[in-house]
A and B are shown apart, each in its own frame.
Chain A
Amino acid sequence: MYILPAVKIALRGLRVNKMRSGLTMLGIIIGVAAVITMLAVGEGASSSLAKSIASVGSNMILVIPGSTTSGGARMGTGNTSTLVPADAEALAKECPSVENAAPLVRGSAQVVNGDRNWSTSVLGVTETYEAVREWPVIKGRSFIRQDVDSGAKLCVLGQSVVDQLFGDEDPIDKSIRIKKVPFTVIGVLDKKGQSPNGQDQDDTILVPLTTAQGRLFGTTSLNAIMVKGKSLDQMDKTIAEITALLRQRHKLQEGEDDDFSVRNLAEMLSMAAAQTKIMAMLLGCIASISLLVGGIGIMNIMIVSVTERTREIGIRMAVGAKGRDILMQFLIEAVVLSITGGVIGIALGVALAKIVGSFTQFETLVTPLSVVLSFGFAAAVGIFFGYYPARKAAAMDPITALRYE
């Protein structure tokens, strides 16, 4: 049919007038590139979510003091004193769908080794922490029941703290000062890397809970209890059991609000990822405006082109082209223009997504679907915005067209 000659003519026209074609396609190129990058950010959020859940543990529940309705306590910074270590023990013993519960206190402290010092976060934990958090030591050992009962001045260091205070030295059995209190290092944690919200998880020190409460922070209540559910499908049941038990232990009446919050960590991560996706989508919508503008640019240039080629349209009609032949021809030219811009935009978008992924905290992932989608959008823009000029061309009267100067 005449699609191939029309495409040839269109491509030739693009080549002859590179400047004009380039400017016309600019809107499409930018729009497609932006859409691809934004979709990649959203997709990256989804895929890194899966990895985060795997690293944190998908059947993890966080219990923090204070209810969500009173000022919205954020993860781990609950500051009302309603949770106690006995609560954690009760949860582990009495809730059937709870595998284990690890109480913790958290605070920050200055840590000193000789002439090196470092400010880091200190977690007071019990012997249950390693199992619940699925975070083993790669050197030395972690705490046992005795260490907690005796309030021993022992500590386990995260990799980043080791790097800061000991460099390449082996820290085991060495002595450091936490908040001026001397501690002996008994273990080093495995490397965990960055948390989903960008914090260095290896920048931490573990000490026995009782030691943290008594010697470091002077508190009897907990900052949080990490609970590991037995099974992923029973998370709702687990949360219900935890809530019921704690309400009973805290002697809350019917109708009284909980004085604690129970958070499904996996859910929280999903929410965070969903936020990133929504943001990406929003930005993608804004980018689509660029596509719209690009389409208007194409329509504009096609209208000019149609007027410029009035004579040519008259000739084609004289030799037998019907209205719809002319329509198809100019529509194809508009689509060639928009698709060429789309292809360039896709290449640009893929490159941009790589750059964003390397230089910002957002992970990006370009999927084949997003490429196909953007290509489709570009083609659709060409068809939609090319239609009016093409119809204008098809509706010309051959006699007047032939006489056009």
Chain B
Amino acid sequence: MLIEVKELVKIYSLGDVELRALDSVSLSIGKGEFVAVMGASGSGKSTFMNVLGCLDRPTSGSYILDGVPVEGMSKDDLADVRKDKLGFVFQGFNLLSRTTALENVELPMLYNGLTAIERRDRAAGALAGVGLKGREGHFPNQLSGGQQQRVAIARSLVNNPSILLADEPTGNLDTHTSREIMELFCRLNTERGITIVLVTHEQDIAAYAKRQVAFRDGRIIKDEVSAGVTPPQSPS
């Protein structure tokens, strides 16, 4: 199992009020899966993603990622895990505005010790892989929403992560573009075997995934396998 989460608890203390964001969550995700995590706001899905993404540490419970226990790691070690094993895609794209598409995709490699040429080549390849060849020199404000998200996806893949974590990736996109992005995710999953965990509150977006996990009040209330959506063949 790529991800093994056992009895994860996350408690926020606000004064004398205790908030159990995660209430003993256990879950296993295998390599090559495409999982959609659903739930209303406050259900704990975002907290769960933060823990999965090694951006936050659980109050208790265990999290084993690719065979390595992560819950006790230092901040620096968690940063390394994020660099080597994880890729993030956000609802707001989170690109650096005064840098080109190519430089944005290069960002994770800055902390990897690669040379400038290696970085450039890999980044160019990643951009081509998401269909943005020729747009390396564009700045985010010169790209459409869908294109920006594709840059973000290219960035998330550039260090060859084990898992892609996507937090409402289509939230800022129109229906047509959303479909394109979801089809891209499907292709990445089926053609390149990338494990994807995606958070959404929209059912039709969740339908693209092959497994749906629903959160409520910090607990998993549903965990179903589904057929998913078979994307059209990738244009070469």
Contact = CB atoms under 8 A, between A and B. Distances in A.
B110 interface: yes
A322 B56 contact: no
A177 to B, nearest CB: 83
Contacts of A16: 98
Given A319-B83, A325-B111, A402 B94 contact: yes
A317 B227 CA distance: 35
A156 B76 CA distance: 87
B80 A320 contact: yes
B27 interface: no
Nearest to A316: B107
Contacts of A324: 76
A13 B98 CA distance: 9
A320 B159 contact: yes
A319 B78 CA distance: 11
A107 to B, nearest CB: 77
Interface string B33-65: 000000000000000001001011000000000
B142 to A, nearest CB: 16
B79 interface: yes
A399 interface: yes
Given A4-B116, A315-B107, A399-B50, A320 B55 contact: no
A215 interface: no
Contacts of B83: 319-321
Contacts of B75: 322-323
Interface in B51-103: 53, 55-56, 75-76, 79-80, 82-84, 88, 90, 94-96, 98-99
Chain A interface residue bracket vs B: 20 to 34
Contacts of B53: 318
A311 interface: yes
A1 interface: yes
Interface string A276-317: 000000000000000000000000000000000001101111
B232 interface: no
Interface string A351-373: 00000000000000000000000
B84 to A, nearest CB: 7
B218 interface: no
Contacts of B79: 317, 320-323
B1 to A, nearest CB: 23
B52 to A, nearest CB: 12
A5 interface: yes
B113 interface: yes
Contacts of B50: 399
B155 interface: yes
A51 interface: no
Contact of B107 (A4, A319, A323, A402): A319
A15 to B, nearest CB: 10
B169 interface: no
Contacts of A2: 110-111
A321 B113 CA distance: 12
B107 A399 contact: no
B146 interface: no
B111 A319 contact: yes
A320 B84 contact: yes
Contacts of A398: 55
Interface string B145-160: 0000000000100010
B108 interface: yes
A336 B82 CA distance: 29
A18 interface: no
A12 B76 CA distance: 29
B113 A315 contact: no
Interface string A323-359: 1110000000000000000000000000000000000
Contacts of A322: 75-76, 79-80, 111
A398 B159 CA distance: 19
Interface string B163-187: 0000000000000000000000000
A1 B113 contact: yes
30 contacts: A1-B113, A2-B111, A4-B116, A5-B110, A16-B98, A314-B94, A315-B94, A315-B95, A315-B107, A317-B82, A318-B55, A318-B82, A318-B88, A318-B94, A319-B88, A319-B155, A320-B79, A320-B80, A320-B82, A320-B84, A320-B111, A320-B112, A321-B83, A322-B75, A322-B76, A322-B111, A323-B76, A324-B76, A399-B50, A399-B56
Interface of A: 1-2, 4-5, 9, 12-13, 16, 311-312, 314-325, 398-399, 402
Given A312-B96, A399-B56, A402-B55, 20 more contacts: A2-B110, A2-B111, A4-B116, A12-B98, A16-B98, A315-B95, A317-B79, A317-B82, A318-B88, A318-B94, A319-B107, A319-B108, A319-B111, A319-B155, A320-B84, A320-B112, A321-B110, A322-B76, A323-B79, A399-B55
The 3 A-B pairs of least Cβ separation, nearest first, read A320-B83, A319-B108, A322-B79
